[in-house]
C-alpha cells in the first residue's frame, strides 16, 4: 500500500530517484540486529538514494548512517538539525512504533506526533517533495476549513485515518497540485511544477495565496 502511495507522490517529480536495492536495506537490518519498520524500509527504498529529497526540510541520514543511538533506531534530524529523530528500542518492539525526537537538553525522547511510522514516513515524504517544487504557495486555514476544502476540492492519498489523522502533516492532492497541511500551524502549502495551475485554483477557490 505505501509503495503505491509513494508511486503517486513521484508523479510530482520531474526526475524519479533510483530505488535503493532491498538487499542493502536488509543488510543494514542484519548489521543493527533489529527489524526496521516496513514503512521506513519503503521510504529508504524509494528516496534513500536522493540526497536532495532526504535533506529538503527534515534531514534524513543516508542508509549507511542509520544507527542505534541513545537506545533508539535513529535515522535523521528535525528541521535545521535541532533534534535527532528515531524510534526508541522499547517502541520498536511494541505494537505502536511511534516516531520520537531526542532533546539534548533534557536527554530524553519525546513524541514527534506520529503513532504509526507509515503515517510519518508517507506524509513527511510528501512534505520533503513539496519543498522542492518550483511553484509553492501558502495559505492560513483553520482545521475545520481544511476539512471542508478536502470534501469540496482536494482528496487524500489514502482515506485511512492512520494517514489523515496520524501525523501533524497531512498530504493531499488536486489536479497535479500537491498539498501539505500543517495542523499545528494551521497552514496549507500547495506545490506544483506549473504555477498556472495555482493561479487557476486561486480563482476557483476565491482565496488569497502567499507565493513563496
**Of 119, 142, 159, which residue sits at a domain end?**
119
Residues 103 and 170 in one domain: no
- Quote the pLDDT of residue 93: 87
Instruction: Please provide the DSSP assignment of 65-86 as one string.
Output: G-EE-SSEEEEEESGGG-SEEE
- Quote the pLDDT of residue 1: 83
**Of 71, 90, 119, which residue sits at a domain end?**
119
Residues 94 and 26 in one domain: yes
Residues 141 and 98 in one domain: no
- Quote the pLDDT of residue 194: 96
Rounded-to-5 percentages of helix, strand, coil across the chain: 40, 25, 35
Q: Are 126 and 164 in contact (CB under 8 A)?
A: no
For residue 125, tell me if it sits in a domain.
no
Domain holding 73, by residue range, is: 2-119
Residues 140 and 59 in one domain: no
Residues 56 and 81 in one domain: yes
The SS3 assignment for 186 reads: coil
Q: Are 168 and 182 in contact (CB under 8 A)?
A: yes
- Quote the pLDDT of residue 207: 87
Residues 37 and 100 in one domain: yes
Residues 111 and 145 in one domain: no
For residue 124, tell me if it sits in a domain.
no
Q: Are 36 and 29 in contact (CB under 8 A)?
A: yes
- Quote the pLDDT of residue 115: 87
Q: Is 72 left (phi over 0), alpha (psi -120 to 50) or beta?
A: beta
**44-62 pLDDT tens trace:** 999 999 999 999 999 999 9
Residues 11 and 112 in one domain: yes
What distances in angstroms separate CA 191 from CA 11, 34, 96, 110, one per listed residue?
12, 37, 32, 30
Residues 108 and 147 in one domain: no
**159-199 pLDDT tens trace:** 999 999 999 999 999 999 999 999 999 999 999 999 999 99
Residues in the chain with pLDDT < 50? none
Rounded to two decimals, the pTM is 0.96
- Quote the pLDDT of residue 71: 97
Q: How many domains does the chain have?
A: 2
**Of 72, 94, 119, which residue sits at a domain end?**
119
Residues 111 and 29 in one domain: yes
Give the list of residues 6+ apart from residue 17 with CB closer than 8 angstroms, or none. Answer: 46, 47, 49, 50, 53
- CATH no. for residue 142? 3.30.310
Amino acid at each position: 500500500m505505501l509503495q503505491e502511495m509513494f508511486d503517486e507522490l513521484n508523479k510530482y517529480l520531474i526526475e524519479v530517484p533510483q530505488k535503493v536495492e532491498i538487499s542493502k536495506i536488509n543488510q543494514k537490518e542484519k548489521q543493527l540486529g533489529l527489524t526496521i519498520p516496513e514503512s521506513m524500509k519503503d521510504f529508504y527504498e524509494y528516496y534513500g538514494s536522493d540526497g536532495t529529497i532526504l535533506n529538503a526540510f527534515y534531514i534524513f541520514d543516508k542508509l549507511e548512517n542509520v544507527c542505534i543511538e541513545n537506545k533508539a533506531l535513529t535515522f535523521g534530524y528535525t528541521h535545521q538539525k535541532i533534534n535527532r529523530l528515531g524510534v526508541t528500542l522499547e517502541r520498536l518492539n511494541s505494537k505502536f512504533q511511534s516516531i520520537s525526537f531526542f532533546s539534548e537538553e533534557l536527554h530524553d525522547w519525546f513524541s514527534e506526533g506520529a503513532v504509526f511510522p507509515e503515517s510519518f514516513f508517507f506524509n513527511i515524504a510528501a512534505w520533503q517533495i513539496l519543498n522542492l517544487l518550483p511553484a509553492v504557495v501558502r495559505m492560513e486555514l483553520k482545521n475545520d476549513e481544511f476539512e471542508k476544502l478536502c470534501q469540496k476540492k482536494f482528496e487524500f492519498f489514502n482515506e485511512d485515518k492512520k494517514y489523515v489523522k496520524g501525523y501533524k502533516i497531512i498530504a493531499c492532492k488536486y489536479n497535479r497540485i500537491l498539498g501539505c497541511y500543517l495542523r499545528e500551524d494551521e497552514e496549507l502549502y500547495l506545490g506544483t511544477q506549473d504555477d498556472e495551475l495555482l493561479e487557476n485554483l486561486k480563482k476557483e477557490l476565491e482565496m488569497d495565496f502567499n507565493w513563496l
